[in-house]
Amino acid sequence: MRGIQQNLDRFESLGVRPIAISVDTPELSRNLCVTRGYTFTFLSDPKAEVIRRYDLAHASAGIKGQDIARPAEFLVDSSGTVRWVNLTNDFRVRARPEQMIEAARQLRSR
């Protein structure tokens, strides 16, 4: 998340609008944004409905055994079509901002 925030201008220059989604409540997400200085959009999916729709549910992996989202990054075009995806099972492993920016550049040049 920090890398996305640090590269927000680069993402936006490519027409990419970063959005984070988690099972956290809106209050927790808002608090995270305030404390960490995130200015991009955070969405709350406490029932994991959207997370399940994208087949990203990590069953019982939350602190109290609740379902949470698998770590993932997507580039989705304006029609809602997924154009690039990075999925992992380890929350410590994420796509680097440079990887996402390069993927966006390649998609834009097509």
pLDDT digits (tens, 9 = 90+) for 39-76: 999 999 988 898 888 888 888 888 888 888 888 888 88
**Cβ proximity of 71 and 90 under 8 Å:** yes
Query: How many structural domains compose the chain?
Result: 1
Domain region containing 86: 2-108
Give me 15's structure tokens.
Answer: 């027409």
Q: What is the CATH number of the domain that holds 75?
A: 3.40.30.10
- 91 pLDDT above the threshold of 80: no
Evaluate if residue 92 carries a pLDDT over 90.
no
Q: Both tokens of residue 1?
A: 């998340």
